[in-house]
A = this chain, B = another copy of it.
Amino acid sequence: MKKQRIIVIGGSAAGPKAASRARRLDENAEITIIQKAPDLSMASCGYPYYVAGVFDDRNQLLATPAGVVRDTDFFWNAKRIKTLVNTEVTNIDRKNKSVDYKNLLTGERASLPYDKLVIATGATPFKPPVPGIDLKGVTTLQSMADSDFLRKIGDDGEVKNAVVIGGGLIGIETCEALVLSDIKVTLVELLPQLLPFLDKDMSLNVEKYLKTKANVILENGVSEFIGENGKLKAVKLQDGTKIPCEIAVVATGVRPNTALAKEAGLKIGECRAIEVNSYMQTSDPDIYAIGDCIEVPHLVSGKKVHAPLGDLANLQGRVAGDNVIKGNVAQFPGTIQSGICKVFDYGVGAAGLSEQGAVRHGFDNIETVINVSPDKPGFMGANILITKLVVDKNTNRILGAQVVGPGDVSKQVTTWAMAVQAKMTVEDMLNLDLPYAPPYSLAIDHSIATAHIMQNKLDGLFVGITPTELKEKLARKDPMFLMDLRNPGEFEVMKIGIGEKLIPQGEFRDRLDELPKDKNAEIIAWCKISLRGYEAVRALMQYGYKNVKLLEGGVLGWPW
């Protein structure tokens, strides 16, 4: 029987996964990975933690759990997969079904035939075309070499100031890594908010926290890297500000590497990434593409998105591995763009669509709610969770959720990721049987309570107002009666301080005469997390007040 020849272009995440899966399915196939970088199977999502000093042995980024470095010998001995590193594919010859490649160290060129080809060329950091971008000290954090460079800087301890350009996931992780290396960091973001996958009101909570660790500048971009003798000395921003620094890390997003595919005439999609069907097959049936170089459907809206995420790359690799061996048997359905990152002691994550994302994806009848609560009982050492839930009011389907805070964000986002992918509605969430014990959660889990609050809102049991909306009303000097339902002791320790009256929950039914006489007056109520506030709102609505609102998230959700 003829041996199946499989070539995989790219040896980081998706590529090796596809190759390994193919090997397990077909011991006889001739499988070759061609990798431009010197390393293979790098755990690239781990780079910031190596830079931060979470661990010291860089080989851990390249090794199996048993400690064996996944190099050329490993791939051959353990998997009988041939790997060519430091080798760039220069051309895909679809007609003759072969690829041309060049060894980047020796300059040697050769060709290799394939029966099935897998493109896993990844993505490249976008570098803004501003003067000084090539200065020594200006870098990205996207390769082992970048990691080594930044780690050495932390170890040497000579660099005192750094600027991180970009407030997305990688920018924030890099910021954390450098701060943990005892470097003073300024984070610069062009947009008016950090982490654009979050809605503004949620990103404000991250911003508030991050500002306790680093300098944060929004709505400003880099206009020039200023150097001296080829070395970075400062970053100049678009508004003219100069920030002295010895290093700058550019984290302004990535672009799919599509040049090879494009030259080969493969179809490029609407997101300027390689177009594939659910089998991960390109417009050429013998060529598959996976990982950061492709676009995939968003499972909520059906729209194509570029989702360069390590977990998806691995899953797509397994699908392609199946299909190159067995024919098209496996499908990758798409993404909900789940993501999470650690920001010091905070977790920040999201699954599905944000409110602004839902609007962008064409949903026009959306309800949202913010829930703030501890992640477990206070006596177990609780930490706060802040969740924003986004629902399609036409169907009550969960479109997405965002969760931030020092609590167990990972479990919460996972719960919502499951709910979104299972196409669950608010009703489906109301009575979930989730594992409960005090060390792990509240008796009514935060996610379920969030659905309860959403149901209450959808049923008209209360009208909510977000912190941002209230802030805007305050700026407009709208006449409002503001009411905090907590105890005097709590109020003394921390309050919002926007002219609110303290009326403790236990007294408020006896102090109704202190409220506006006009039943149409706007009253806004809250407490620590707006549960007592909610009870007051319920009572007032039944007493005939027509314009009572609950400040969502309460004092703990106030992001300023």
Contacts and interface: CB of A to CB of B under 8 A. Distances in A.
A379 B338 contact: no
Contact of A49 (B332, B379, B487): B379
Contacts of A67: 487
Contact of A27 (B415, B419, B542): B542
Interface in A419-466: 419, 421-422, 424, 428, 430-441, 443-445, 448, 452, 461
A486 B528 CA distance: 54
A359 interface: no
A78 B46 contact: no
Nearest to A527: B66
Contacts of A379: 43, 46, 49-50, 54-55, 57, 60-61
Contact of A435 (B49, B410, B529): B410
Given A68-B487, A313-B443, 8 more contacts: A23-B535, A46-B377, A49-B438, A66-B486, A68-B506, A312-B433, A340-B436, A418-B434
B65 A528 contact: yes
Interface of A: 13, 23-28, 43, 45-46, 49-50, 54-55, 57, 60-61, 65-68, 73-74, 77-80, 173, 299, 309-315, 318-319, 330-342, 347, 349-351, 374, 377-380, 382, 408, 410-411, 413-415, 417-419, 421-422, 424, 428, 430-441, 443-445, 448, 452, 461, 486-487, 490, 505-507, 509, 527-529, 532, 534-535, 538-539, 542-543
Contacts of A61: 379
A139 to B, nearest CB: 20
A312 B443 CA distance: 8
Contact of A78 (B66, B408, B490, B505): B505
A411 to B, nearest CB: 4
Given A43-B438, A379-B61, A535-B79, A310 B49 contact: no
B434 A417 contact: yes
Contacts of A432: 417-418, 421
User: Which 5 residue pairs across A and B have the least CB separation, nearest first?
Assistant: A422-B422, A418-B418, A77-B506, A340-B435, A311-B436
A553 to B, nearest CB: 14
Contact of A45 (B415, B443, B529): B443
A414 B55 CA distance: 29
Contact of A437 (B45, B351, B506): B45
A454 B28 CA distance: 24
Interface centre among A380, A408, A461 (most CB of B within 10 A): A380
Given A436-B309, A438-B45, A444-B315, A65 B378 contact: yes
Contacts of A312: 433
Contact of A333 (B13, B49, B350, B431): B431
A314 B66 contact: no
Contacts of A535: 23-24, 78-79
A506 B81 CA distance: 12
A461 B380 CA distance: 45
Given A379-B61, A452-B318, A486-B66, A311 B46 contact: no
Nearest to A63: B378
A443 B311 CA distance: 5
Given A377-B46, A436-B338, A506 B78 contact: yes
Nearest to A435: B340
Given A418-B422, A433-B299, A439 B378 contact: no
Contacts of A347: 440
A24 B461 contact: yes
A464 to B, nearest CB: 15
A505 B61 CA distance: 20
Contact of A434 (B311, B341, B527): B311
A410 B376 CA distance: 12
A380 to B, nearest CB: 6
A422 B331 CA distance: 20
A506 B76 CA distance: 8
A414 B411 contact: yes
B338 A435 contact: yes
A349 B411 CA distance: 14
Given A78-B532, A539-B27, A439 B506 contact: no
11 contacts: A24-B534, A24-B535, A43-B443, A46-B377, A46-B379, A54-B380, A61-B379, A77-B505, A336-B433, A341-B437, A408-B411
